Amino acid sequence: MASVNYFWRHTLPIQSSPLPKYNSHLKRRRLTNFLSLNIKCQTRLEDSIQVGKDRLQKVPILNIRNFSIIAHIDHGKSTLADKLLQMTGTVEIREMKDQFLDNMDLERERGITIKLQAARMRYMYKNKPYCLNLIDTPGHVDFSYEVSRSLAACEGALLVVDASQGVEAQTLANVYLALENNLEIIPVLNKIDLPGSDPARVANEIEEVVGLDCSNAIHCSAKEGIGILEILDAIVEKVPPPQDTAERPFRALIFDSYYDPYRGVIVYFRVIDGTVKKGDRILFMASRKDYFADEIGVLSPNQMQVDELYAGEVGYISASIRSVADARVGDTITHYSRKAEASLPGYKEATPMVFCGLFPVEADQFPDFRDALEKLQLNDAALKFEPESSSAMGFGFRCGFLGLLHMEIVQERLEREYNLTLITTAPSVVYRVNCVNGDTVECSNPSLLPEAGQRGSIEEPLVKIEMLTPKDYIGPLMELSQDRRGEFKEMKYIAENRASLIYELPLAEMVGDFFDQMKSRSKGYASLEYSFIG
């Protein structure tokens, strides 16, 4: 009880103004209403925290809710996730820390989610226990495939928008991904406690741009704990339960995996059909590898072992898997003996878009550098590398990444976690050369280009970019895009003073300083989203 009172004082500030004096009947009635509402909220909170401690108890499939949170960088996604864990009693107050689900130092420093997490919460609503599975999503365009697989594992999503900043490019991209997966979207206007917040304007913006009805949008402040119980109620009421397909052959969607040095690869998955038990022989349908499930369990957010998981549940599996490549994100798990007829749709292998050379500053660090890259690749199946030598910098590796942020993160992790000092060459992209004899050659390095006589044509990768900007900066941004060989496609006003610019331009022009230039020309107000088109 003492911990609940502590929790109430520290997370849900109730009006700090002095209580009204009893000088009139009206004021007395207001005070009574205020105190009774306060007591009701406190009672619900205490019940919720008590129930939340019993997370391994099974609930009917109708009482399971799988949801994720989609937001632009720095709109309060991690803070909201923290508050949901706290309010449902999933994490004890003494264990709580800011950005609880962000485990890497890099994520905490930059305020972004790089490696997604999952958490199972238990919540009481109208005296019935519900199991809420939060499946986190990384917050950057480089990881859009991982985001799409996380959303495919859910039935609903919270669309979190900063009530002072409004809709940003990344928010739009992830909303469209969620709509493609037919998710129920609940709009949440965060940071309403800030002096510059304007929830009415932002709600209009969401209605105009995305087409969502925001008349019942939830106003909240994740930092101050305002509106969190309303969000939990909305998840139970609006997000549909999973389909009851426990009788079908077992199929599960992998939405993340990581390498543990003692247990091998740990796979995070959502059960779509059927059931899986500890000790079952399982098959990964894309890699055709089979293993015995030594351990299965739920993520809450720490790993808790169970004996069985059924359709609709989210959990992890440990089966002494040696390489992340055997259990890729988006693959389907099924039983070895009773195979499913078809794998789940949407799986594709991650293809690197941006290449650069990485070289150790000291030549004697090369063996350590090679070991570090191999260890990092165990955790990150999208990282590709091959040996390269340079007359100026000696021996190193040419590495392929999903994008510029992915490149920065890999370089920083190599330097921090493995004590290396690295030199990075300027990033480049893959060109496709169609030869005269009909062959096609992919070149990530100018030295790989065929002889001039053998080249028929050269193709370069193109991206479609969308910039959201205040109308004052439209001219400078159009000038920047045209300087970078951009082809104008569309311009539309999404609100009275904000516009969306759509261009197609070569990826080679994007990987330089395009983003920095865009930010400096728009004084930091514009945001960017890009997608590969061919």
Structure tokens at 212: 């969502």
- Asked if 67 contacts 132 with a C-beta cutoff of 8 angstroms, the reply is yes
**Is 256 part of any known ligand binding site?**
no
Which among 1, 3, 186 has a CA at the least distance from the CA of 80? 186
74 annotated ligand-binding residue: yes
512 is in an annotated binding site: no
Helix, strand, coil % in the chain, rounded to nearest 5: 30, 30, 35
Q: Is 73 among the annotated ligand-binding positions? A: yes
In 12-112, alpha helices (H)? 25-52, 77-87, 105-110
Per the annotation, does 193 bind a ligand? yes
Give the C-alpha distances (Å, rounded to integers) separating 332 from 121, 155, 202, 272, 500: 25, 18, 39, 10, 37
Alpha-carbon separation of residue 160 from 122, 308, 327, 340, 415 (angstroms): 22, 34, 31, 37, 34
C-alpha pair distances (Å), 378 with each of 144, 321, 382? 20, 11, 10
Q: Nearest 10 degrees: CA dihedral of 207, 208, 209, 213? A: 20
Is 192 assigned to a binding site?
yes
Name, in order, each residue with C-beta under 8 angstroms of 71's C-beta and a sequence gap of 6 or more.
Answer: 77, 139, 159, 160, 161, 170, 171, 174, 190
Residue pair 444/460 in contact by the 8 Å Cβ criterion: no
Are residues 358 and 399 in contact, defined by beta-carbon separation less than 8 angstroms? yes
Q: Does 140 carry a binding-site annotation? A: yes
- 156 in a labelled binding site: no
N-to-C CA span, the chain: 59
Q: Does 136 count as an annotated binding residue? A: yes
- The single residue listed with the structure tokens 């090679």 is 370
Kind plus residue range of the DSSP H or E element containing 74: none
295 beta partners = 318
Nearest to 136 by CA among 115, 152, 155: 115
What three-state secondary structure class fits 464?
strand
Q: Is 323 annotated as a binding residue?
A: no
Residue 75 counted as an annotated binding residue:
yes
252 Cα distance to chain centroid: 19
* Cα 173 to Cα 165: distance, rounded to the nearest angstrom: 17
Q: In angstroms, rounded to a whole number, what is the distance separating the alpha carbons of residues 432 and 435?
A: 10
137 among annotated binding-site residues = yes
Q: Is 27 annotated as a binding residue?
A: no
The annotation status of 77 as a binding-site residue, yes or no, is yes
Q: Is 47 annotated among the ligand-binding residues?
A: no
User: Binding residue per annotation — 72?
Assistant: yes
**3-state SS track over 84-122:** HHHHCCCCCHHHCCCCCCCCCHHHHHHCCCCCCCEEEEE
d(CA 493, CA 317): 47
Residues in the annotated binding site for GTP: 71-78, 136-140, 190-193
Residues in the annotated binding site: 71-78, 136-140, 190-193
